[in-house]
Amino acid sequence: MKLYETFELEFTGRKLTENWARVDVTAVFTNGDTQVTVSGFYAGDGIYKVRFLPEKTGIYTWKVSGCVEGEGSELCEPVVPGSAGAGTDAGQQADAGTERGQQADAGDGTEEHGRGTGAAASGKTAQTAPAVGRAAVRGQTASFGRTGRGVVRAVGTHFEYEDGTVYKPFGTTIYAMMHQDEELIETTFQTLSSAPFNKVRYCVFPKHYDYNSNEPPYYPFEKDAEGKWDVNRPCVAFWDHFENGIRTLQGMGIETDLILFHPYDRWGFSELETDECLVYLDYLLRRLAAFPSVWWSLANEYDLCRKRTMEDWYLFEEFIAEHDPYRHLMGNHNCIAYYDHSRPLITHCCMQTAWMEKAADWMARYRKPLIYDECCYEGDLPQNWGNLSGFEMVNRFWQANTVGAYCTHGEVFLSGDEILWWAKGGVLKGESPARIGFLRQIMEEIPGPLSPWTEEYLEPEERKWREQGEKMFGHLKKSLSEAELDALTRKDMDFKGHLGEQVFLVYLGRRCNALLPLRLPKDHCYRIDVIDVWNMTRETAATGVSGAVNVKLPGREGMAVMAVEEK
Amino acid sequence: MKLYETFELEFTGRKLTENWARVDVTAVFTNGDTQVTVSGFYAGDGIYKVRFLPEKTGIYTWKVSGCVEGEGSELCEPVVPGSAGAGTDAGQQADAGTERGQQADAGDGTEEHGRGTGAAASGKTAQTAPAVGRAAVRGQTASFGRTGRGVVRAVGTHFEYEDGTVYKPFGTTIYAMMHQDEELIETTFQTLSSAPFNKVRYCVFPKHYDYNSNEPPYYPFEKDAEGKWDVNRPCVAFWDHFENGIRTLQGMGIETDLILFHPYDRWGFSELETDECLVYLDYLLRRLAAFPSVWWSLANEYDLCRKRTMEDWYLFEEFIAEHDPYRHLMGNHNCIAYYDHSRPLITHCCMQTAWMEKAADWMARYRKPLIYDECCYEGDLPQNWGNLSGFEMVNRFWQANTVGAYCTHGEVFLSGDEILWWAKGGVLKGESPARIGFLRQIMEEIPGPLSPWTEEYLEPEERKWREQGEKMFGHLKKSLSEAELDALTRKDMDFKGHLGEQVFLVYLGRRCNALLPLRLPKDHCYRIDVIDVWNMTRETAATGVSGAVNVKLPGREGMAVMAVEEK
């Protein structure tokens, strides 16, 4: 068992032919005063699995209980757990240290895959193999890819892995990634392995839409006798295949922002009844919740899902919260009407909009991280959501990131092969990914999350002028409507962020300043970097400066200025 | 006397040393049942002038009456006018045709400058020379520059000269143009003579602001004994010089959008009392109203004029309307709070904003022409109103013009000479003017004003889908706030205009379509032009097409597609 790594127990038992979505298998994992109960799932062919994600160091003991329905629908008696059992204590007694991010040698032998040791249930039917076990979990670093830092959490308006490392999402969108043939999926993974993205947004259900018309190789459910999808019979081949995608991405350090529902459908998955949705979610959570890299995106364009009521979404929120012991991130993505991101179970603002100037307001309002998960895509489509220039896609990434919000990429180029990245994956053709990589490198160098920089370190004279202006003309803004005020803001505002007094960043976007007046703290020394976000250059314009600094710029679009404290 | 050309009568009389702003000289010009009363002005050195702008063909008779205040403050008796008098009937009896734009030989000798013929006043003091006269006015075309088409009028949401020719403004801004030295003014005129602009926005009063700090050569008033500006003693040298500017621009076909008040002042002109303002306006109107090319812009940033109340602006509107017999265009320019463009005397919407997407809404709301008279300037300043790229300036021009609104240029480059075009004139350094010229050429080829194109000629199947979508999801928009709805509009909208079924124009702005589906009427044939607004190319992509047309595009920013009916 490794900290922040999926731990799996496998049992053999009775082969099921009906209703295997919600098998009665439960495991309780105990570590000191922490107790986590997880549900197992039927993995097909008489295999039952229990997955668990250890989130703290120490000694875990577990017990597995329950059974599948017997022939006579009788239930097993749960096994009374021992406090230490048949599990192998594969590691040394772990340090009790609970400090997050603590490093320890991960090379110690650990039980990565627990196989039921045959402690038979005392129940009447013995299809499942209840087990008790014990394992030591030591803090560790990820020696490969994603595993090793734990689930990503919302902390204030930014994200951190469970181990405390700041996570800055640089996502991309490949809605039907897992519904393509193996060769294309392999190409996509190959592309992602050298792309700048650390999150992929994609759907569980196949997608039917423009440029998405192929039949998927698998469907998430089998059909009943009348040819209707039977949510009680999840298609094991689908889920095996699907979770391999998550596993592969996780190995590359890429989070899976999993879209649980969406409206673009010709198969009927968007028309499930509410109780069917819960059965689907239940199986999904049993299988996937123990992957550290998954996020729950309740929907893509929840508001276009005609079959769903608001009560459904609220119910799904609660159901997931109840059935996900690890509290993965949860958001809901809109088309027209923003979801209510203030709801307590919603961890972050997942937004479709190109209203980049609004980020600071929304972050102040929701006090949650904000991801522009859809702000149109780089490409050349006739549809207006799909014809941003590479520059404009990059521009939006910088606008979001500068103030401490985040942005998600997508790419839609009409081309001979009819494979649009945003739909199916494949290879990237656009000009933005390289620049997004350049941005990511800069953002990851900054030793913490940025926040909107609203308080300038003005000279007393400048402050006086500013205040006088506000006093004389501030009332004029009160006469404006919300949209008029917003138009004024868009015309005048800068994108400015900071990390305490360590880093100040101004992104000028389409502005072509030859000069930028920066007003920095007087009691620290700064290095000033001039960054060309498109040409990916970064030059030091000054060192050892503080207070009022006027930075010379080349007078073209796409420039940023960063002041970094010198120590 | 020429149609649409300033006619001037000049008299000699007593030299005045006090209070010459409102001399008691009035002229009545009669042509059939049209009677126009105008006030004369003191032109200094004992010269009195009366100016008149004939706006219809036929025989004009005039009488001039009144006098200046005598030594004993006694007033002259007005002369009783004859129905035909001492004026020379220099032309033939004019055609009675009142058709606007009617052409006739302008080469006939006409009395261009009426000098008082000495018909002495019967009053007690004879400082003024009341006169009666008669002249024939024939319709004519302008053989040079601007004179000859009459005052520009607002007609619906567009502009026409009095003679019915459509006028599409392509303005620029040179706030303190007339407050520079002669050499610089000459350079500015030289630049304008080959620039694409047919309107210049500039101030009567000198301007004190960033990059505007030089002392002007003249001031509009003389000072009183206490060193205070005396509005009753207009500085004749100022006004002679100032009106020469209007005359020169007019000769080049350029309208003068005259800014009557503004807040950027260190001399005290923004602090005049309300009644002083009226004296100033009175003299200005006596001198300038007969120039066909002037427009009244009540202010630049009226809302920042601290001394002025809303009642002042309303009073100025009324005063101008009463004292301007030609009803020149009148607007009022904001900084933050838009002026109420629905006021009856306001002829058009003069706006400072970069909210280009709002044009169609505002035009529908105000049913008046809309000029984005300040949407930021091309340049490289640190101030955010002054650092648009050339492309973005051009982009805004196309966005406005495509839907039948208008846009105004300005240029602010930091450079060695410290002469910023927007402040002082000089030479143009930016990249936008050439492209604005290219746009103007296209706009002037279109045989009428454009309007927003909102009704597409959809195929029945497309219409069905559109309507279904609206039915299913239209309600979602109702849940949005004004600003949220606006953000959605900005993300999705196209800039589209049309002239009846003759011309359809789609401007794609920053969108990079490789394909544009156009839905044209089926019962006309069209030529399709693909326009690159930056590279200034225009290629015919198809001829003889109608109905549904898919236009191939190069997939880069700055493209427009125009369909022109073939006959």
| Tokens standing for residue B189 | 């005129």
Map residue A263 onto helix, strand or coil.
Answer: coil
Record: contact A388-B512, CB cut-off 8 A: yes
Who among A306, A353, A514 is closest to B487 (CB)?
Answer: A353
pLDDT value of position A113: 36
Beta-carbon separation of A480 and B387 below 8 A: no
Does residue B414 belong to the interface with chain A, where contact is any CB pair within 8 Å? yes
Distance CA A189, CA A192 (A): 5
C-alpha to C-alpha distance for B459 and A403, rounded to whole angstroms: 45
Terminal-to-terminal C-alpha distance of chain A: 41
Closest residue in B to A486 (Cα) is B483
Would an 8 Å CB–CB cutoff place A354 in contact with chain B?
Answer: yes
Q: How far is B446 from chain A (nearest CA, A)?
A: 26
- Report pLDDT digits (tens) over A547-561: 999 999 999 999 999
Residues of A within 8 A of B553 (CB-CB) are: 380
Give residue A226's identity as a one-letter amino acid code. E
Contact A557 B389 (CB under 8 A): yes
Lowest-confidence pick of A132-141, A482-491, B332-341: A132-141
Tell whether A469 lies on the interface with B, counting CB pairs under 8 A: no
- With CA atoms as reference, the chain B residue closest to A352 would be B488
Chain A contacts of B493, Cβ < 8 Å? 384
Q: Is B462 on the interface with A (CB under 8 A)?
A: no
As a whole number of angstroms, the distance between CA B5 and CA B502 comes to 34
pLDDT tens for each residue of B138-167:
654 434 344 579 999 999 999 999 999 999
Distance of alpha carbon A468 from alpha carbon A466, whole angstroms:
5
Q: Closest by alpha carbon to B520, among B460, B563, B467? A: B563
By the CB < 8 Å criterion, does B557 face chain A? yes
Mean pLDDT over A490-509 rounds to 96
Both tokens of B363, joined, read 């035009």
Token pair recorded at residue B77: 């008796």
Question: What is the predicted pLDDT for the residue at A444?
Answer: 97
pLDDT tens digits along A152-192: 999 999 999 999 999 999 999 999 999 999 999 999 999 99
**Which residues of chain B have a pLDDT value below 70?**
67-131, 138-147
Beta-ladder partners of B370: B349
Contact list, A516 vs chain B (CB under 8 Å): 382
Among chain B residues, the shortest Cα distance to A518 is held by: B382
Put simply, the answer to whether A476 touches B303 (Cβ < 8 Å) is yes
In A, which residues are within 8 Å of B557 by CB distance?
Answer: 389, 391-392
Please report the pLDDT score of residue A138 as a whole number. Answer: 60
How far is the alpha carbon of B482 from chain A, nearest alpha carbon, in Å? 6
What is the Cα B171 distance to its own chain's centre?
8
Among B425, B444, B412, B437, CA closest to B534? B437
- Judging contacts by C-beta atoms under 8 Å, the chain B residues touching residue A479 are 336-337
pLDDT reading at A34 higher than 90: yes
Is residue A484 pLDDT above 70, yes or no? yes
Confidence of residue A455 (pLDDT cuts 50, 70, 90): confident
Q: Which chain B residues have a beta carbon less than 8 Å from that of A382?
A: 513-517, 550
Is the pLDDT at A307 greater than 50? The verdict is: yes
- Reply yes or no on whether the pLDDT at A123 is more than 80: no
Q: How far is A466 from chain B (nearest CA, A)?
A: 14
Using a 10 angstrom Cβ sphere, with 0-12 exposed, 13-18 middle and 19 or more buried, the burial of residue A437 is middle
Q: Do B380 and A513 touch (CB under 8 A)?
A: yes
**B489 in contact with A at a CB cutoff of 8 Å?**
no
Average pLDDT over residues A418-425: 96
Q: Which residues of B touch A476 (CB under 8 A)?
A: 303, 335-337
Is B80 touching A (CB cutoff 8 A)? Answer: no
Amino acid B67: pLDDT: 61
Residue A103's pLDDT is: 32
The answer to whether the CB atoms of A387 and B513 lie below 8 A apart is yes
**CA closest to B551 among chain A residues:** A382
Number of alpha helices (DSSP H) and beta strands (DSSP E) in chain B:
10, 31
> How is residue A67 written in tokens?
């059974």
What ipTM was estimated for this complex?
A: 0.89
Residue A126 has pLDDT above 70, yes or no: no
**B354 in reach of chain A (CB within 8 A):** yes
What residue in B sits closest to A383 (Cα-Cα)? B513
Residue A93 has a pLDDT of: 30
- What percentage of chain B has pLDDT greater than the value 70? 87
**pLDDT on residue A131:** 57
A548/B contact by beta carbon, under 8 A? no
